[in-house]
Amino acid sequence: MKTIPVGVTAATTAAAYIRERVGAAWQTPVAGIVLGSGLGGLADRLEDAVRIPFSHVPGFPQVTVAGHAGQLIVGTLASRPVVMLAGRFHMYEGHDAGLAAFPVRVLHALGAPVYVASNAAGGVRRTFEAGDLMLIADHMNLMFRNPLIGPTEQGDERFPDMSDPYDPQLRALMREAAQAVNVPLHEGVYCGLVGPTYETPAEVRMLEKLGADAVGMSTVPEVIMARAIGMRAVAVSCITNKAAGLSHEKLSHAEVMEAGRSVAGRFEGLISAFVQRL
Which positions are catalytic?
Answer: 37, 68, 90, 92-93, 120, 217-218, 241, 253
Alpha-carbon span 168 to 189, nearest angstrom: 14
* 196 cis-preceded (ω within 30 degrees of 0): yes
Alpha-carbon span 252 to 141, nearest angstrom: 23
Closest CA to 95 of 217, 233, 234, 238: 217
Query: What residue spans of the chain are helical by DSSP H?
Result: 8-22, 97-109, 168-180, 201-210, 220-228, 253-262, 264-276
Provide Rg for the chain, Cα atoms.
17
Closest CA to 103 of 6, 231, 191: 6
The upper half-sphere exposure of residue 258, i.e. CA atoms within 13 Å in the direction of its Cβ, equals 7
Q: Are 268 and 274 a contacting pair, CB within 8 Å? A: no
Determine how many CB atoms are found less than 10 A away from the CB of residue 72: 27
Alpha-carbon span 237 to 220, nearest angstrom: 12
Sequence letter at residue 22: V
Alpha-carbon span 203 to 102, nearest angstrom: 29
Strands (E), the chain: 31-35, 47-53, 71-77, 80-86, 114-123, 133-141, 186-192, 214-216, 232-242
